[in-house]
């Protein structure tokens, strides 16, 4: 179909069922490293070639951690309120 949102099976990414646990962990680690490299490239483009990328990356990670902590606290607070209200 021309306007189909789901790609045909032949375009689906390969599965990982055939990989051993060790190979799955290695794949995961490579994906994390590649994601970090994408963030570093974006920071380099945004801040310029002379920027301290290590400091910028660390600050980015800190911001993400802070956002996650705020999100988890919000969820916990919502659940606490639901329990208090008998839901």
Is residue 77 one of the residues assigned to a domain? Answer: yes
Alpha carbon distance 57, 52 (integer Å): 9
Q: Give residue 87's pLDDT.
A: 61
Residues 2-54: tens digit of each pLDDT: 677 788 888 888 889 999 999 999 999 999 999 999 999 999 999 998 999 99
Total number of domains constituting the chain: 1
Domain hosting 30: range is: 18-84
List, in sequence order, the alpha helices (H) in the chain: 21-47, 53-84
Residue 2 has a pLDDT of 66
Residue 8 belongs to some domain of the structure:
no
Residue 24, C-beta contacts closer than 8 angstroms, at least 6 positions apart: 16
The pLDDT value given to residue 65:
96
Instruction: Please give the C-alpha separations between residue 71 and each of 66, 67, 74, 76, in angstroms, as whole numbers.
Output: 9, 6, 5, 9
Evaluate if pTM is beyond 0.75: no
């Amino acid at each position: 179909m021309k306007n189909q949102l789901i790609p045909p099976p032949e375009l689906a990414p390969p599965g990982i069922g055939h990989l051993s646990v060790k190979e799955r962990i290695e794949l995961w680690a490579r994906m994390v490293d590649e994601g970090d490299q994408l963030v570093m490239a974006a920071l380099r483009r945004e801040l310029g070639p002379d920027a301290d990328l290590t400091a910028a990356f660390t600050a980015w990670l800190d911001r993400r951690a802070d956002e996650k902590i705020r999100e988890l606290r919000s969820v916990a607070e919502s659940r606490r309120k639901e329990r208090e209200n008998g839901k």
